[in-house]
Amino acid sequence: MQKPWGPEHGRSMSEPLRLLVKIPIRECGEPVVRIETRNPRLIARCKFPYLRARLIGMLEHAARVLPDDLSLMVTAAYRPVAEQRQAYEHYFARVRAEHPDWPLAVVRRRMNRYLAPVDAKVPAPHCTGGTVDVRILLPDGQDLDMGSTPKGALDVARWDSPKISAAARANRQILWDAMTAAGFTNYRAEWWHWSFGDSGWAYRLGKPFAIYGLVDLQGLEAGVIPERPPRWKDRA
């Protein structure tokens, strides 16, 4: 297993496309499979519960590393290209409406930080099958307090945000320890976003190439996700 990734690797918060595009992709051909596990502490509650095969074992490892009273929930995994395009266009329209005075280049830079475009030379991370969004659950099913939700402000979403409480910072460290022990790396602008094998992973670790490229699977059965607004709660 690779050495756990940490701040000493020296990668910055920003992962601009102009740098990611320089990283070659040598697709290894690993299949994308449905997330199925017998571990009750690993829960997949995402629209398309599919990932590269290796990542499922990695997630099971991360769930085992967590303290015994906590569980790991996957909220986003593989994303078909059409789904990624729809999400990008929806958020693009929202940003343009909120900031009509912004030049198009500024809107795109803001967008690229939050959601990967599908027309870039670098595959959108979720479209490779090598990226997951995760949360930690308490025994009662509530979300462990991480200081922000994925829909919150960007400055609070960043891993090392100074605007979160000490308790939330400690909770983020629990997630960091579990995910890095399993071999994942974090996109530091979003505490919930972790990947292995994609271009972001290669950039963070200084790898010569990525091993997961674009996978455009069609006809996947989308799961029905029950409405579940986050209810942040610290450990008792």
Question: What pLDDT does residue 11 have?
Answer: 47
Give percent helix, percent strand, percent coil of the chain, each to the nearest 5.
35, 15, 50
**pLDDT tens readout for residues 145-186:** 999 877 667 778 888 889 999 999 999 999 999 999 999 999
For 24-80+121-233, the fitting CATH number among 3.30.1050, 3.30.1380, 3.30.70, 2.30.29 is 3.30.1380
**pLDDT tens readout for residues 29-65:** 999 999 999 899 999 999 999 999 999 999 999 999 9
CA-CA-CA-CA torsion sign (2, 4, 7, 13): positive
Of 95 and 64, the structure prediction assigns the larger pLDDT to 64
The answer to whether 129 touches 59, Cβ cutoff 8 Å, is no
Q: What is the pLDDT confidence band of residue 8, given thresholds at 50, 70 and 90?
A: very low
The answer to whether 162 touches 171, Cβ cutoff 8 Å, is no
Reduce the DSSP state of residue 73 to 3 states and report it. Answer: strand
d(CA 48, CA 29): 20
Helices (H), 129-212: 154-157, 166-181, 199-205
Strands 131-137 and 71-76: antiparallel
Domain boundaries along the sequence of the chain: 24-80+121-233
Q: Which of 194, 234, 232, 23 is nearest to 120 (CA)?
A: 23
Question: What pLDDT does residue 7 have?
Answer: 46
- Bridge partners (DSSP) listed for residue 194: 132, 186
Does position 108 have pLDDT exceeding 50, yes or no? yes
